[in-house]
């Protein structure tokens, strides 16, 4: 596939210093816009954030709390009643995103109590 340089207006790439450096001469020679990929940048940000102990512990505690309400019928029923009593709408979960985030969230098996206590 041959694409003429005059047909190219921009190049989307990762933020690595080697890629950024490689783009400089192309920007000058062809007047191409160099665009760093927002998705890649966000992924790097998420990976860095998830290495923070306080964030991974909070996610672990939140996951276990959600699992509790999903698995224990009595707790789920009481939560629903309380939500209705407080006139709070049901929380929306986007299933398209939920399974994708699973790969980023650490699966620490602490209980919510020990996760919060060990902060």
Tens place of pLDDT per residue across the chain (119 aa): 789 999 999 999 999 999 999 999 999 999 999 999 999 999 999 999 999 999 989 988 988 998 898 899 999 999 999 989 998 887 666 555 555 455 555 555 444 444 444 44
Question: In the structure encoding, which two tokens stand for residue 20, read together?
Answer: 């950024």
pLDDT at residue 107, rounded to an integer: 53
Q: Which residue is it, tokens 């665009």?
A: 35
Predicted TM-score (pTM) above 0.85: no
Question: In the structure encoding, which two tokens stand for residue 107, read together?
Answer: 């699966």
Task: Find the angle CA(79)-CA(85)-CA(86) to the nearest 5 degrees.
Answer: 90
């Amino acid at each position: 596939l041959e694409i003429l340089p005059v047909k190219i207006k921009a190049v989307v790439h990762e933020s690595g210093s080697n890629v950024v450096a490689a783009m400089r001469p192309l920007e000058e020679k062809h007047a191409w816009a160099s665009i760093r990929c927002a998705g890649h940048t966000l992924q790097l940000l998420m990976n860095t954030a998830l290495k923070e102990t306080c964030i991974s512990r909070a996610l672990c505690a939140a996951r276990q709390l959600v699992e509790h309400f999903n698995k224990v019928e009595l707790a789920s029923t009481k939560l629903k009643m309380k939500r209705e009593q407080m006139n709070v709408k049901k929380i929306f979960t986007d299933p398209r995103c939920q399974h994708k985030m699973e790969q980023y969230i650490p699966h620490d098996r602490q209980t919510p109590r020990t996760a919060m206590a060990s902060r």
